[in-house]
Amino acid sequence: MQIFDITNRKEFMAKLLKSDLFDTFEAREVVAHMAFKIILSGERNKDYFNDIDEDTTSALSDFLVWGDIRKHVYELMSGNKLPTYFKIILSTNSEKTASLSPDASTFYLNITFKDNQISCSTGMAYKTFTLDKSSEQLWDEKIKNFLFKYQFI
């Protein structure tokens, strides 16, 4: 696990909420504290998609991708006043996870805004216990390179 402090906050938030840069990540959870506290689960409500045939519905991921909910989150967070806190938990989809490691269930990117600072932390859910941390280190490095490439850190 690594924690990265975002130095280019304005650009990071613009890319997160207004562009498709993060759209392929699965959205696990969004928590925001504004005038009210809101918790959004990214878990797909498959009953909502009942107009899609059963084979397609069963093939859908358990989680919505960030691109499906990004505009809604933007609408909730935009206004004259910044939220006092937010946390967005994103994860890799099953194809990306499998391409990175056979030992992982998923890889996480946690985005937190607190005390006027934004940080990103990495994480990994293992399928089974292992002392080998090479997959986790690979993910840490990929995120570091991604954040550096877009000049967020």
Q: Chunked in runs of 10, what are the mean pLDDT values of the chain (153 residues)?
A: 96 96 97 94 85 61 94 90 95 95 95 96 93 92 97 94
Express each pLDDT in 91-124 by its tens digit: 999 999 999 999 999 999 999 999 999 999 999 9
pLDDT of residue 61: 85
d(CA 104, CA 127): 5
Specify the DSSP class assigned to residue 48: G
The tokens of 12 are what? 């990071």
C-alpha atoms less than 13 angstroms from C-alpha of 37 in its C-beta half-sphere: 3
pLDDT of residue 46: 80
Q: Which residues pair with 118 in a beta bridge?
A: 113
pLDDT of residue 52: 67
The tokens of 64 are what? 């919505």
3-state secondary structure at position 128: coil
Q: What is the CA radius of gyration of the chain?
A: 16
pLDDT of residue 130: 85
The answer to whether 152 and 10 have CB atoms below 8 angstroms apart is no
